[in-house]
């Protein structure tokens, strides 16, 4: 979501928005096919891991090898099937539940760029609450309902194609981005992560074509979700789709909002599946990159997806979180991360790192919280939420890391049970794990 202009000026002055590109939206141009999407989809049939074959794998490897993010990160070895212990399953569940918990926890305070406003409206958020109206910093009324970025409400991608029945809310000032949602309910991007989980279970593997089809069906089905806002990448995708562009070519990029942390939210299910099926961290990273390529035309996000997917896989198999974070931090030019630990969270987020959605600073913020709260996951999510800004998608990305490192049993029961659809999420998590596990292995642990 674009940041209010007054906030952008502040962070531009502080030098925190170094990756904020000039905004130039061309709604009339036709998107070009994505090599990663095309290669992943063309080799998706023929078995659980064929998507990583000659077509997609070679092109992905070429892209990755040219990037410092890839070259800086160490690889783990492929584990034996015997490594699928109860503790590994506990960490897998912890990662996935961490995503949904963090998303729901941050939902009411999403895009509060004034910590003072956040505190006046909610106090210190420690539990799930419903959003309050009006949202003092909402600029949803400036967002286009006909495509990505800013614009008027002349188009009806929002309302007719996706987010059915929500268009009238976009033109009103002060409307909360998650208007009408209940305490503990998940936002749209987290719901798309659930779509990925269900796709893996239904297909019996991670099949990019199946995942893409499931995404299109979910988004275009009236009543499939209760969220009001949809990020630029959703709106651009379905603006293209509505014009008759093939789904494989609908992912787009506005040069401003697409390269954001929202693209990370749907990746933990894929990385978890890869880890539990005995694939290497490198393969888990490639799987994550294949997933993000379905919805985002972004070389930048593919690089972060590879890094993030590797981290999730390594953590599920027992890697040390601080070591993983330090390696990732060096890869993204954040080697001084340890020096931030003694500072207040609001000194770091909003002072040294932008609280906005743009991927460079938002991912560094995720690493900061993961490093500081490596063994205190509950405190980590509370700290993230109360810093405001893009705390929902940033939080979901963080929650999956903290959960993968600490396991399901480290999340408070009030959060696990307090999710609005806790039972359904539990069932979907179990089915993903059952799909990834060898037949009969540790069934009693589920």
Binding-site entries for Mg(2+): 187
Q: How many residues does the chain have?
A: 446
Spell out the residues 6+ positions from residue 402 whose beta carbon is closer than 8 angstroms to its own: 94, 98, 321, 370, 373, 374, 377, 380, 381
- For residue 270 the two structure tokens come to 């894929």
| Dist CA 109 CA 11 (whole Å) | 20
Residue 180: left (phi > 0), alpha (psi -120 to 50), or beta?
Answer: left
Half-sphere exposure of 112 (CA within 13 A, CB side): 29
Judged on CB neighbours under 10 Å (0-12, 13-18, 19+), 48 is middle
Question: What residues form the annotated binding site?
Answer: 187
Cβ 321 vs Cβ 305: under 8 Å:
no
**Other Cβ atoms closer than 10 A to 59:** 15
Adjacent-strand bridge partners of 358: 260
Instruction: Tell me the H-state helices in 73-206.
Output: 86-106, 115-122, 167-170, 188-203
User: H or E segment at 385?
Assistant: helix 377-385
- For residue 77 the two structure tokens come to 């070895």
| Dist CA 98 CA 400 (whole Å) | 5
Q: How far apart are the first and last CA of the chain?
A: 38
- Tokens 């979700």 sit on residue: 225
Cβ 98 vs Cβ 410: under 8 Å:
no
């Amino acid at each position: 979501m674009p940041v209010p202009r007054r906030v952008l000026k502040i962070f531009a002055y502080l030098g925190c928005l170094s990756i904020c590109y000039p905004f130039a939206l061309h709604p009339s141009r036709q998107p070009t096919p994505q090599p990663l999407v095309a290669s992943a989809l063309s080799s998706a049939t023929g078995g659980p891991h064929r998507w990583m074959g000659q077509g997609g794998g070679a092109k992905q490897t070429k892209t990755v090898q040219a990037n410092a993010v890839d070259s800086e990160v160490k690889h783990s070895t492929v584990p034996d099937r015997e490594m699928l212990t109860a503790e590994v399953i506990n960490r897998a569940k912890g990662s996935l539940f961490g995503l949904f918990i963090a998303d729901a926890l941050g939902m009411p305070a999403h895009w509060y760029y004034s910590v003072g406003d956040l505190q006046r409206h909610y106090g210190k958020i420690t539990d799930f609450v419903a959003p309050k109206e009006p949202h003092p910093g909402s600029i949803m009324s400036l967002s286009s309902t006909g495509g990505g970025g800013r614009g008027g409400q002349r188009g009806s991608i929002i309302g007719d194609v996706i987010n059915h029945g929500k268009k009238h809310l976009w033109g009103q000032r002060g409307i909360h981005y998650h208007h009408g949602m209940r305490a503990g309910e998940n936002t749209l991007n987290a719901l798309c992560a659930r779509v990925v989980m269900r796709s893996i279970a239904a297909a019996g593997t991670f099949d990019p074509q199946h995942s893409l089809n499931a995404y299109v069906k979910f988004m275009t089905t009236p009543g499939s979700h209760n969220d009001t806002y949809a990020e630029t990448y959703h709106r651009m995708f379905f603006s293209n789709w509505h014009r008759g562009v093939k789904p494989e070519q609908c992912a787009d990029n506005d040069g401003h909002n697409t390269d954001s942390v929202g693209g990370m939210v749907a990746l933990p299910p894929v990385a978890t599946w890869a880890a539990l099926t005995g694939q290497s961290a490198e393969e888990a990273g490639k799987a994550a990159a294949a997933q993000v390529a379905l919805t985002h035309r972004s070389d930048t996000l593919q690089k972060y997806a590879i890094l993030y997917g590797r981290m999730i896989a390594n953590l599920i198999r027992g890697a040390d979180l601080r070591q993983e974070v330090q390696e990732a931090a060096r890869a993204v030019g954040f080697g001084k991360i340890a020096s931030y630990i003694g500072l207040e969270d609001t000194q770091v987020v909003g002072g040294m790192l932008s609280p906005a959605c743009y991927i460079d600073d938002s991912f560094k913020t995720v690493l900061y919280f993961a490093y500081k709260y490596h063994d205190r996951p509950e405190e980590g999510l509370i700290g993230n939420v109360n810093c405001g800004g893009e705390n929902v998608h940033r939080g979901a990305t963080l929650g999956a890391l903290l959960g993968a490192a600490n396991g399901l049993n480290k999340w408070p029961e009030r959060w696990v049970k307090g999710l609005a659809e806790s039972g359904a999420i539990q069932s979907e998590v179990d089915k993903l794990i059952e799909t990834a596990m060898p037949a009969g292995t540790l069934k009693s642990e589920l």
